[in-house]
Amino acid sequence: MVSKEVLRHLVIQQKTQIEQPGDLVERTIFSHVLDAMNDNRVLILTGIRRCGKSTLLKQLMQGAKNYCYINFEDERLLSFRAEDFGILDEVLIEVYGSAGTYFFDEIQNVEKFETFVRRLQDNGKKIILTGSNASLLSREFGTRLTGRYKLFEVYPFSFIEYLRFIKTAVRKESLYLVEEKVNLTRAFGRYVESGGMPEYLRNNDPEYLKTLYDNILYRDIIARYSIRRQRLIRELVGILASTVTLPFTYNSLKKNLGLMNAITVKEYISYLSGAYLFFELLRFDYSLKKQLGSPRKIYCIDTALCVLNGFSLTPNNGRLLENVVFIELKRRGGEIFYFAGKRECDFILKDQKKITMAIQVCYEFTAENRERETKGLLEAMETFDLSRGMILTYDQEDELQAEGKTIVLKPVWKWLLEESVR
């Protein structure tokens, strides 16, 4: 239990901090969240720790009236329990006045928080929450607030957000003007290496990144799921970071880790995915059973975190490029798979029941890899009756005709920006 005096001091202190002006980067997702502020659903912003969720809350507060705010990450709230919400509500009213909108940061740290949220919603309040664990939030709300919440996933900076951060203006014409294209290509190279975690980009301190990774691993996974074999999960993270974009099976990882069964590996990867550190990509198959039984691929939330955990920048820059493309596809939404027949295609996109696009990623399209890159793409296009496909490269642009189909070559940086500068 937390005393009312401690809560009052904490709420006042956090209010002062959240109201301080700052140089905030416009997030692409902001307008979508803002549109949902007018309905009566609970809004949930989830994403990896320190990716900018709290800053997004701050931006929402700037346009809100009669709101209140508390961040449950504060160590003084470690003993906070569900029964303390009544006292907290009194303190919030004393400090902010009667509020119609409640902003709760990292609320998943409190057990049975959903009961209080449900009560507030029943009383006509608007609630916006953030959390660093998608599976936990969806599980709790699935039982208490089915159909009464909307979830938004927040990712580290996209490339357009990174350009806003470094104060590089980009217009539609920038994609075609030589000097501006050169500057954008250079900025993209830095983005691939540095990733999109906001605070790391501000201080460029590897120790910050290491501390962030340790916090994610310990607080969001080891402590939350009471994992005793800490060395094992750290070894698993190292293996996954070193093999991003490559196929794997739970059995192969089991052998590498010296385990007796693959269930532990499957559970640990689900924890890593729930904390937004890694993501699995399934091979497409019309048979769900075959799809689930096929090798998967692994991708990391951020290239800088990937490098920190053992990924070498060279000669694997093509794999980092593929990781950037995957995270952007996740950000845009929709179903993503990889294709494997006689050859392989990196990504196929599914909209409802139809495959709509096939994408191959390679750092440089050359005479040596031309057949490998095009054959896998063409096989996927033929399988799903697609007339156009895409090969994303670091900085090449062209259009090819092969086997009666069109293959568009495009730089990843241009593909990332096209939807943002229309």
Pick out the chain residues at pLDDT < 50. none
Q: Which domains does the chain have, with CATH numbers?
A: 4-154 (3.40.50.300)
Question: Cα dist. 108→69, 138, 274, 351, 381 in Å?
Answer: 15, 11, 13, 32, 43
pLDDT tens-digit map of 193-232? 999 999 999 999 999 999 999 999 998 999 989 999 999 9
Size (the chain), residues: 422
CA gap 290, 126 in Å, rounded = 44
CA–CA dist 232, 219 (Å, integer): 16
Collapse the DSSP code of 119 into the 3-class scheme (helix H, G, I; strand E, B; otherwise coil) and give the result: helix
Backbone dihedral angles phi then psi of residue 121, each to the nearest 5 degrees: -65, -40
Q: How far apart are CA 345 and CA 382, in angstroms?
A: 12
Three-state SS at 282:
coil
Q: By three-state DSSP, how is residue 68 classified?
A: strand
Q: Whole-number mean pLDDT of the chain?
A: 92
Taken in order 410, 338, 350, 378, is the CA torsion positive or negative? positive
Looking at residue 142, its pLDDT comes to 65
The sheet carrying 149-153 orders its strands as: 67-71, 101-105, 126-131, 42-46, 149-153
- Token duo for residue 363: 């750092």
pTM of the model: 0.95
| Nearest CA-CA partner of 120 in 98, 151, 136, 142 | 98
Residues 322 and 320: their CA atoms lie apart, in Å, by 5
For 254, the enclosing helix (H) or strand (E) is helix 250-257
* 150 beta partners: 43
CA distance linking residue 289 with residue 287, whole number of Å: 5
- Residue 163 CB: number of other CB atoms within 10 A? 24
Tell me the pairing of strands 67-71 and 101-105: parallel
CA dist 162 and 24 (Å) reads 12
The three-state secondary structure class of 193 is helix
Q: Which secondary structure element, helix H or strand E, spans residue 265, and what is its range?
A: helix 263-274
How many angstroms from the chain centroid is the CA of residue 320?
Answer: 16
Cα–Cα dist 169/73, whole Å: 35
Q: Roughly how many angstroms between the first and final C-alpha of the chain, as a whole number?
A: 53
How far is residue 113's CA from residue 140's CA, in Å, rounded to a whole number?
9
Which three-class secondary structure state does DSSP give residue 270?
helix
In contact, 331 and 315? CB cutoff 8 Å = no
CA 262 to the chain's CA centroid: 26
Specify the pLDDT at position 140: 63
The secondary structure of residue 27, as a DSSP letter, is: P
Crossing angle (nearest 10°) for helices 230-242 and 206-217: 120
The percentage of residues in the chain with a pLDDT greater than 70, rounded to a whole number, is 96
